[in-house]
């Protein structure tokens, strides 16, 4: 029997990106469906978050995410530009957020098709693997989307025609994410039990094996 797990994902989160290689291996190796469900990052969900948290938080994330990538041998560099428009000196988050709204709505569009994991993995590499500067420019995203079986122009057109449809999907994801018992990303949720962090995949597998998870033949 194929088991199913939700993965709540933010396109700005380095740890979300760092969870993807292991998640792809998980799906390849086990009889498992991973339903990637994009949510907005904390900078959008809670605009005052970075002003309230310890100022060392952001510096630690930069340090830790980089060493996790080195340890796991995952190509990594923080996106250029940042998917969130934010003054990292004042920590002020801009009201207008063209990048993260587009990315998250695209993720919701792929979710509708039941292919959000491969789509997000293809797109995330453009942002995070260090091979591209100016990821919103040119055809970087279009080529990544095509590699995952999507027409980016058609997706953008559909979203522009009815943005509320995709915002409702994102809002539903955020509601279920909050109901899971955790607020951070990446969070895997299996049978209402949250597993927060890219370093909880082994624990997630252990739990799912107790529920009948089997390897693919």
Residues 6+ apart with CB under 8 A from 88: 58
Instruction: Measure the CA–CA gap between 170 and 50, rounded to whole angstroms.
Output: 22
Q: Which pTM was predicted? A: 0.96
- Is 28 a residue whose pLDDT tops 80? yes
- Is 46 a residue whose pLDDT tops 90? no
Torsion of the alpha carbons at 126, 130, 70 and 16, rounded to the nearest 10: -30
Helix (H, G, I), strand (E, B) or coil at 118: helix
Identify the helix (H) or strand (E) that includes residue 9: strand 3-9
Residue with tokens 């025609």: 161
Identify the helix (H) or strand (E) that includes residue 37: strand 32-38
Q: How confident is the model at residue 182 (pLDDT cuts 50, 70, 90)?
A: very high
Dihedral (CA of 176, 181, 183, 187) sign: negative
Residue 50 is predicted with a pLDDT of 76
Give me the mean pLDDT over the 205-212 stretch: 98
Q: How far is CA 94 from CA 11, 164, 167, 181, in A?
A: 17, 21, 19, 29
- What angle do the packed helices 98-112 and 163-179 form, to 10 degrees? 80
| Residue 160 or residue 87, greater confidence | 160
Give the chain's domains with CATH numbers. 3-209 (3.40.30.10)
Give me the mean pLDDT over the 102-123 stretch: 98
Tell me the percentage of the chain whose pLDDT exceeds 90: 86
| Residue 24 or residue 94, greater confidence | 24
> Shortest CA distance to 182 belongs to which of 195, 172, 200?
195
Give me the mean pLDDT over the 18-24 stretch: 98
Residue 204 is predicted with a pLDDT of 98
Instruction: Measure the CA–CA gap between 143 and 173, rounded to whole angstroms.
Output: 27
Tell me: the pLDDT tens digits for 57-103? 888 999 999 999 999 999 999 999 999 998 888 888 888 999 999 99
């Amino acid at each position: 029997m194929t088991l199913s797990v939700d993965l709540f994902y933010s396109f700005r989160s380095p740890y979300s990106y760092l969870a993807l290689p292991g998640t792809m291996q998980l799906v390849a190796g086990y009889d498992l469906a991973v339903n990637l469900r994009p949510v907005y990052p904390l900078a959008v969900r809670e605009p005052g978050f970075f002003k309230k948290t310890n100022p060392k938080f952001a510096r630690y994330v930069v340090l830790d995410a980089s060493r996790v990538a080195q340890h796991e041998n995952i190509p990594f560099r923080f996106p250029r530009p940042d998917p969130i428009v934010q003054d990292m000196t004042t920590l002020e988050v801009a009201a207008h957020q063209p990048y993260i709204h587009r990315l998250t709505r695209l993720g919701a569009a792929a979710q509708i098709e039941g292919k959000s994991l491969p789509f997000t993995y293809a797109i995330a590499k453009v942002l995070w693997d260090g091979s591209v500067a100016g990821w919103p420019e040119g055809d970087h995203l279009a080529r990544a989307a095509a590699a995952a079986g999507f027409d980016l122009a058609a997706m953008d057109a559909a979203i522009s025609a009815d943005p509320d449809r995709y915002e409702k999907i994102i809002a539903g994801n955020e509601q279920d994410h909050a109901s899971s018992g955790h607020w951070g990303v990446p969070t895997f949720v299996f049978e209402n039990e949250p597993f927060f962090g890219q370093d909880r995949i082994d624990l997630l597998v252990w739990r799912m094996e107790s529920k009948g998870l089997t390897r693919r033949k």
